[in-house]
Amino acid sequence: MPTNPLLRALALVLPLSLVAAPPAVFAKEKSARTHPSSHKKSSKKSAAAAAAAAAAAAPVIATPFPLDPDQHMSQLNADAGTPVLAEGAKGPAVIRAQTMLDRSWFSPGEIDGHFSANMKRAVSAFQLSRGLPVTGQIDAGTWAALAPQQAPVFATYVLTPEDVNGPYVTTPKDPVEQSKLPSLAYQNAAEALGERFHMSPKLIEALNQGRPFQVGQAILVADVARAMNLPAPATSLRIDKSDSLLYVMGEGNKVLGAFPISIGSSKDPLPEGQLKITSKIKNPDYSYNPSLLRNPKADKKVKLPPGPNSPVGLVWMGLTKEHWGIHGTAEPSQMARVETNGCVRLTNWDVQRLFGIVGTGMLVEVQS
């Protein structure tokens, strides 16, 4: 267990990494002499594999770095390079691109410093909106199109008493026990800070190694507060099931923004066609009904209190299909990686942004 209080707090929500050594594979010895060229090919493959393994093992944030948060921020913000980034890349340049996409209404989900499938989809949607070749890579043209959001992406944040002390509440697994709580609040500071800055707790930890978790301490975060206004009014929403994306559409069928989503499986498919938003509710409670769920955790109907760890997160937008809606989640790291019971799930920060630009009666078009 980490001895640093900040690392202890963050470690509460981080999964343990279990590494198993693969079994050895033995090949039968060939009687014929191996051709010399095969040794060269083998050496090249081995070198490439070693390089790939080294890249995979490299940390997202290189150490050592200045312990002073302002110096560290200045060091990271001084790097204005525009390298070509593709799926599998990681590091500060990826964090910069993720933050700039987030500010531009093209969410990568959690900002974590890894160029994931979610980020690739966000990049492709951004390129589509700007009339760029859709490559899914951050190339020179994409960096240039992101230029309006190239204000420094790293900032410092001073921890408050509420950040350090909460109140935080551990969420029971049993819905019946959850129903007895006054709210389904954040469980710890890692969750709260992660959602505030759209970041994975693991990245916050990596950026702040060696800094004490105490009131008045400055920490390094992604500056997501510089988000631009939506460039035009939203006229409709489009859900693309194959891309696991919700698009914000404007006049002339123009793409204005996009968010990663989790949707139902083939057992609970989101019907294709046109739906409408019928209601908008902030901090909703949740009527837990096991008969509507594929894998219920309890067999009793209960009403769960509101909060960020509610099954529907911080926002509910009802749809014309009964019991279905667009809502938040208690698990932002799983966005577009898990299936729902039919509803459309976004991160809490993305669904709150969406809530602010849509109205009841707005068209929601669902396509495969």
Q: How high is the pLDDT of residue 194?
A: 97
Q: How high is the pLDDT of residue 293?
A: 73
Residue 337 DSSP symbol: T
Summary count for the chain: helices (H), strands (E)? 11, 12
CA distance 290 to 302: 9
User: Which CATH number is associated with domain 69-149?
Assistant: 1.10.101.10
Q: Determine which of 34-43, 86-95, 165-174, 274-283 has the lowest per-residue pLDDT on average.
A: 34-43
The structural domains of the chain, with segments of one domain joined by +, span 69-149, 157-226, 236-367
If pLDDT is split at 50, 70 and 90, which confidence band does 22 have? very low
Q: How high is the pLDDT of residue 44?
A: 61
**Percent of the chain surpassing pLDDT 90:** 69
If pLDDT is split at 50, 70 and 90, which confidence band does 204 have? very high
Mean pLDDT of 7-35: 38
If pLDDT is split at 50, 70 and 90, which confidence band does 17 have? very low
Q: What is the DSSP string of 151-177?
A: S--EEEEEPPHHHHH----PPPSSHHH
Q: How high is the pLDDT of residue 35?
A: 52
CA distance 3 to 129: 47
Contacts for 206 with CB less than 8 Å, ≥ 6 apart = 59, 60, 61, 113
Burial string for 282-303 (b: 16+ CB within 10 Å, else e) reads eebbbebeeeeeeeeebeeebe
**Residue 9 in this model has a pLDDT that exceeds 80:** no
Q: How high is the pLDDT of residue 36?
A: 53
**Residue 118 in this model has a pLDDT that exceeds 60:** yes
CA distance 203 to 205: 5
Q: Which CATH architecture has domain 236-367?
A: Beta Barrel (2.40)
If pLDDT is split at 50, 70 and 90, which confidence band does 48 have? low
Query: For residue 199, which phi and psi values (nearest 5 degrees)?
Result: -120, 155
Contact 102, 111 (CB under 8 A): yes
**Percent of the chain surpassing pLDDT 70:** 83
Residue 368 DSSP symbol: -
Give strand pairing partners of 326. 317, 344
Q: How far is CA 49 from CA 36, 45, 46, 62, 330, in A?
A: 20, 6, 5, 22, 37
**What is the pTM (predicted TM-score) of this model?**
0.84
**Residue 213 in this model has a pLDDT that exceeds 50:** yes
